[in-house]
Structure 1
Amino acid sequence: MRFEEALLLAGKGQLITRPGYGVSFAAIREGQAVYGHFIGETGFTDVRAYVFTDEDKSATDWELFIRVLPDAWEGCDVPNG
């Protein structure tokens, strides 16, 4: 998708990414652009302020960021102590 479309989705709370971002994402939080990634399998993120580059703005390869955990983490049983 185009940058403008991706930015609209980010403004609605979605995480967006481009192929060159790897496992990182961009988002809009409190009206500011941020760039980050999840830390391990936790829900915590490392997020920093970001300025979209001219390349980002002209790109047409934007997509929604989808976090996929490795199969080994799915359905794990937690011991009941």
Structure 2
Amino acid sequence: MDAIRKDFKVTIVDTYKFITQEEKGQSMVEYGIILALIVIVGFIGLLALSGNLKSLYQEGVFTKIKNAFLGKI
């Protein structure tokens, strides 16, 4: 067991090099798919945020918060 450990030394630098290396044959299609997924998730998040703000505005909570910051309670 010790013989295996002596031969198998992994350092932080080796791990970093392994993680950051690009796979051979990685294509622009894969990068495009990843980018498209990021855009879709961002768009869904933006829709969720705008929906929440719209409902707060309709309930009057947003106006109360705005007036509290402006000092018009």
TM-score w.r.t. structure 2 length?
Answer: 0.25
Greater helix content:
2
Larger Rg: 2
Greater strand content:
1
